[in-house]
Amino acid sequence: MAEALKLGIAGVGTVGGGVLQLIDKHWDKFKARAGRSLEVCAVSARDRHKKRSADISTYKWFDDPVVLATSDDIDVYVELIGGEEGVAKDSIEAALKAGKHVVTANKALLAHHGMALARLADENDVALNFEAAVAGAIPAIKTIQESLIANDITRVYGIMNGTCNYILTQMQKEGRNFDEVLQEAQDAGYAEADPTFDIGGYDTAHKLALLTTMAFGVETSLESIYVEGIEKITLADIEAADELGYRIKLLGVGLQTDSGIEQRVHPTMVPKNTPIAGVDGVTNCITFDGDFIGELVLIGAGAGASPTASSVVSDILDIAKGIIPPTFAWRTEDLVPYKRAPMRAHEGGYYIRLSVYDRPGAFAAIAASMADVGISLESIVQRLPESTMPGLDTLPHDGGPVPVDMITHRTTEAAVRKALQAIEKEGNVEEAPQMIRIIKL
């Protein structure tokens, strides 16, 4: 039996506590599966005396995570501090330079600095594992590294943020507006006091950047991702999607095209009969399209102490077994420069919601703006005011705004944006038009 693998854990909060509990609970099983035991030797956190879910009194304490990262007491540095800069980055760099393996759940750090850290890991022949950084318990990273290694992956997409999915699910199921459900999510601990990082789509963008690099063998390019959050999604959009046979989900999409790599995060209408449409609440879903597997869908818990701890410990066990894969599934010298495919070259159908002033010529002008850029419409639904009596063929021309929903046929995003700019400039709509992309998976 090999010597125990010695661990140093920085950050003993929700996830760190879960890691300690999991190692303690399954210590015997891990020893049998890895051929060596796991031994937590030291920890570091901001407050030594804070009440925690796991007892840390028996472990050696380090005030400075950077000192822990280079300590002779450990073989593996487990970074669960978080943050893209500061002590998290400094300590990981120090650990890699000192020849220590690193396990982290820090998606923001890797999205911003992953390439430099991966090269550092290569130079020192150590692991930099991050299964827990993407979609919690879902084995998205290992799926690319191991199960799909024989495939040419052409697309990766999915629901990667539980907060957004919870909000959209509750809006759809309970008919409540965005602000009300967001407050509920904050009260339940699903959303932060400042939810911008989640609802603005940035959390999803960090995860997508990592998956894109691994799936397509390109250098990470967070700045190339088009990001749009769910803040503008209304109950009217949710209801319209339902009537049209869709569900609205915040998706991260990475696509390999002839002109380069396209990365985007935005609300999307997906058909009700697809697996991803049924993924509700805080659950995540990652889907891969490969040339020999077709479509592979992974669904599971995307966050939380136990699911994330499970992924952290799985990375530790790989190291214990001597499995040291390339950080991004490719050797860093084999990753090719990122070539961006313009977002506006994307083609697909679109849902458009307008609040049109009910006056002569308004609808004709809108139709003309669409026709001018070659957009044909699949359907137009004019939502009558509740006061309108059934059977009436026309609305009273009182000049007030009338809700209008439109679905386009396949067209380019550039064409849609140009048409909507023209429509808004003409002054026939009360507010900026709402546009949601449709993916017919």
DSSP conformation letters of 301-326: E-SSHHHHHHHHHHHHHHHHTT----
Where is the domain boundary, 247, 280, 301? 301
Do 243 and 208 lie in a common domain? Answer: yes
Tens of pLDDT, residues 160-188: 999 999 999 999 999 999 999 999 888 88
The pLDDT score that the predictor gives to residue 381 is: 80
The pLDDT score that the predictor gives to residue 94 is: 98
The pLDDT score that the predictor gives to residue 52 is: 84
The pLDDT score that the predictor gives to residue 265 is: 97
Do 154 and 292 lie in a common domain? Answer: yes
Do 297 and 150 lie in a common domain? Answer: yes
Cα separation, 311 vs 317, in Å, equals 10
The pLDDT score that the predictor gives to residue 342 is: 72
* 247 found inside a domain: yes
Cα separation, 427 vs 278, in Å, equals 39
The pLDDT score that the predictor gives to residue 161 is: 95
Do 187 and 288 lie in a common domain? Answer: yes
* 315 found inside a domain: no
Select which of 173, 207, 232, 321 is catalytic: 207
Tens of pLDDT, residues 342-385: 766 566 789 999 999 888 888 889 989 999 999 998 888 876 65
Do 162 and 294 lie in a common domain? Answer: yes
The pLDDT score that the predictor gives to residue 390 is: 42
* 70 found inside a domain: yes
CATH code of the domain covering residue 410: 3.30.70.260
CATH code of the domain covering residue 265: 3.30.360.10
Domain count, the chain: 3
* 309 found inside a domain: no
- Full-model pTM: 0.91
Average pLDDT over residues 244-250: 94
Query: In the predicted model, is pLDDT for residue 125 greater than 80?
Result: yes
The pLDDT score that the predictor gives to residue 393 is: 42
Residue span of the structural domain in which 433 resides: 346-438
Where is the domain boundary, 100, 133, 166? 133
Where is the domain boundary, 97, 112, 133? 133
Do 15 and 40 lie in a common domain? Answer: yes
Q: Is 37 helix (H, G, I), strand (E, B) or coil?
A: coil
Beta strands (DSSP E) in 145-282 are 153-159, 226-227, 246-257, 260-271
The pLDDT mean for the chain works out to 91
CB 201 within 8 A of CB 240: no
The Cα-based distances of 66 to 7, 237, 295 in angstroms read 14, 49, 42
* 120 found inside a domain: yes
Do 32 and 108 lie in a common domain? Answer: yes
Q: Which residue has the tokens 């699903």?
A: 190
Do 200 and 289 lie in a common domain? Answer: yes
Do 102 and 151 lie in a common domain? Answer: no
Do 18 and 113 lie in a common domain? Answer: yes
Catalytic site residue 207?
yes
Do 199 and 92 lie in a common domain? Answer: no
The pLDDT score that the predictor gives to residue 388 is: 44
Do 148 and 257 lie in a common domain? Answer: yes
* 171 found inside a domain: yes
CATH code of the domain covering residue 20: 3.40.50.720
* 76 found inside a domain: yes
Token pair belonging to 141:
């990273």
* 103 found inside a domain: yes
